[in-house]
């Protein structure tokens, strides 16, 4: 295998392999270190040859053995090391290529562990994004509009608490599911968000994360099939992901919504998402935020064209969201929708008011939305400055190319 192919395997398999390892060894840091050792071994063994038939199982088994080696080297485990090693060996697969037990459930199991009610909600989400889903500390920080240093400290404290408090690694009983559900849904959605629009790198979309989030959403719905907010979240992810093929061109450059070829959209996923939206809206009680967002995505999916989108209804749904789940990001999305109904001038006033409050200082899409509104108002110098700010704020290559293209258009104009 080439180094690039090995890196792809690592990215695709790391999350689930780590989740299984944490179940086997019972320690976050030990599992992470052992998996890094297994990756290093794979770089040597797989280079120039084919990967094993089940690369995830290979990584788990090698990492399990590396973890045992690490335990034996730790002086503070003397007296207990044989008991710990024996437990790990009993719980692991014997054959290198055999699939570890309960592999498909380990990710969901670990998410519920990270979303234990003893953690603050933001800690639940941050720990899961970093540990379970393989996001870097910088990516997790972006999801919270935080700094990398602050996020790193938060993660260290959370993992220490799990180890010292003996928080169990399990999906809780049905009576405890509800209290952890909000954190779990937030985690799955933020994983999908990173897959839908990557924080950094050369590609706009991380298919592995988007698909993993959808898979976890389906698993969660299987646990709680009558939960409207789970149906709403799964619908939202399916409807957004259905547009995947139309969002980039052959060169990997961004194709904006108004320019996308809608025949490339996945109609099977759209049909499934629309059915789930209808079911979620039929659940009694207050509308849930993910369901309202899914209803917005449904309007985009059903519109024959960009110009024929029901923007007025979308604005109304964003106003509902602002009442039930207010956030700066929702305000920004609301302003962008308002620009399609009342024009860019009114929307710019909303964006500038949001920026003045400082709620989105770390959010790189704020200057991008502002730049687009200024461009539409023909305020070219201000638009230029905003596009430059947007380019400086992002580490994602396709977005940088998009902003460069906009700047070139302003110069040509």
Question: Predicted confidence band at 306 (pLDDT cuts at 50, 70, 90)?
Answer: very high
In a domain, 25, yes or no: yes
The CA-based angle 178-179-184, given to 5 degrees, is: 80
> What is the mean pLDDT of the segment spanning 48-53?
79
- Give yes or no for residue 233 having a pLDDT over 80: yes
268 to 91, 247, 279, 304: CA distances (angstroms): 40, 17, 17, 16
Query: Could you give the percent of the chain with pLDDT greater than 70?
Result: 92
* Residue percentage of the chain with pLDDT more than 90: 49
Number of domains in the chain: 1
Within a domain: residue 193? Answer: no
Q: Is the pLDDT of residue 176 over 60?
A: yes
Rounded-to-integer distance, Cα 138 and Cα 238, Å? 26
Q: Is 16 inside a domain boundary?
A: yes
Residue 227 · residue 282 · CB < 8 Å: no
> Does 406 score more than 90 pLDDT?
yes
Q: 148 vs 23, 153, 194, 230, 389, CA distance in Å?
A: 27, 9, 16, 30, 20
Phi-psi region of 302 (alpha: psi -120 to 50; beta: other; left: phi over 0): alpha
Q: How far apart are CA 59 and CA 32, in angstroms?
A: 12
Are 271 and 216 in contact, with CB atoms under 8 Å apart? no
Do the domain assignments include residue 81?
yes
Highest mean pLDDT, choosing among 33-42, 114-123, 218-227, 265-274:
265-274
- The model's confidence at residue 249, banded by pLDDT at 50, 70 and 90, is very high
Q: For position 104, what pLDDT does the model report?
A: 47
- Asked whether the predicted pLDDT for residue 351 surpasses 70, the reply is yes
- Residue 168 within any structural domain of the chain: no
Chain-wide mean pLDDT for the chain? 87
User: In this predicted structure, which of 41-45, 75-79, 119-123, 160-164 has the lowest mean pLDDT?
Assistant: 75-79
pLDDT, residue 100, reads: 40
Q: What is the mean pLDDT of residues 175-187?
A: 81
State how beta strands 395-396 and 200-201 pair: parallel
Residue of 163, 162, 124 whose CA lies nearest to 144: 124
The listed range with the strongest mean pLDDT (85-99, 134-148, 296-310) is 296-310
Please check whether residue 21 lies inside any domain of the structure. Answer: yes
Cα–Cα distances in Å, from 125 out to 158, 182, 183, 216, 381?
11, 10, 6, 15, 40
Which pLDDT value is given to residue 49? 78
Domain-embedded: residue 345: no
Q: Which domain holds residue 25?
A: 1-101
Q: What is the pLDDT of residues 69-92, one digit of tens each?
A: 888 777 555 555 555 554 555 455
- Inter-axis angle of helices 81-91 and 3-25, nearest 10: 120
pTM for the full model? 0.78
Predicted confidence at residue 281, as pLDDT, reads 94
pLDDT tens digits for range 370-388: 999 999 999 999 999 999 9
Q: Is residue 396 part of a domain?
A: no
Helix 328-342 vs helix 365-376: crossing angle, to nearest 10: 10
């Amino acid at each position: 295998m080439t180094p690039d192919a090995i890196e792809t395997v690592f990215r695709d398999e790391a999350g689930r392999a780590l989740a299984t390892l944490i179940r086997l060894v019972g320690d976050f840091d030990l599992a992470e270190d052992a998996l890094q050792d297994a990756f290093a071994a794979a770089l040597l063994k797989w280079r120039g040859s084919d990967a094993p038939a089940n690369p995830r199982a290979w990584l788990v088994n090698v990492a399990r053995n590396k973890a045992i080696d690490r335990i034996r080297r730790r002086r503070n485990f003397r007296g207990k090391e044989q008991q710990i090693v024996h437990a790990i060996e009993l719980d692991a697969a014997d054959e290198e290529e055999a699939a570890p037990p309960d592999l498909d459930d380990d990710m969901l199991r670990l998410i519920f562990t990270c979303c234990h009610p003893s953690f603050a909600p933001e800690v639940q989400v941050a720990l899961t994004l970093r540990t379970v889903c393989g996001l870097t500390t910088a990516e997790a920080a972006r999801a919270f509009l935080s700094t990398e240093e602050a996020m790193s400290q938060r993660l260290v404290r959370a993992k220490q608490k799990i180890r010292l408090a003996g928080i169990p690694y399990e999906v809780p009983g049905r009576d405890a599911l509800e209290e952890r559900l909000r954190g779990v849904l937030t985690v799955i959605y933020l994983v999908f968000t990173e897959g839908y629009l990557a924080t950094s790198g050369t590609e706009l979309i991380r298919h592995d994360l988007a698909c993993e989030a959808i898979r976890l959403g389906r698993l969660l719905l299987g646990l709680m099939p009558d939960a409207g907010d789970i149906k709403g979240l799964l619908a939202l992810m399916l409807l957004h992901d259905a547009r995947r093929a139309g969002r980039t061109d052959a060169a990997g450059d961004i194709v904006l919504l108004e320019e996308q070829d809608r025949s490339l959209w996945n109609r099977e996923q759209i049909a499934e998402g629309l059915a789930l939206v209808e079911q979620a809206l039929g659940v009694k009680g207050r509308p849930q935020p993910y369901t309202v967002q899914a209803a917005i995505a449904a309007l985009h999916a059903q519109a024959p064209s960009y110009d024929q989108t029901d923007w007025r209804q979308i604005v109304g749904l964003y106003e509902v969201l602002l009442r039930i789940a207010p956030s700066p990001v929702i305000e920004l999305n609301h302003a962008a929708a308002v620009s399609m109904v009342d024009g860019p001038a009114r929307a710019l006033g909303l964006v500038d008011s949001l920026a003045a409050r400082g709620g989105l200082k770390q959010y790189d899409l704020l200057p991008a939305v502002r730049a687009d509104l200024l461009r539409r108002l023909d305020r070219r110098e201000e638009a230029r400055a905003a596009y430059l700010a947007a380019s400086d704020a992002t580490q994602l290559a396709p977005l940088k190319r998009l902003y460069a293209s906009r700047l070139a258009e302003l110069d040509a104009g």
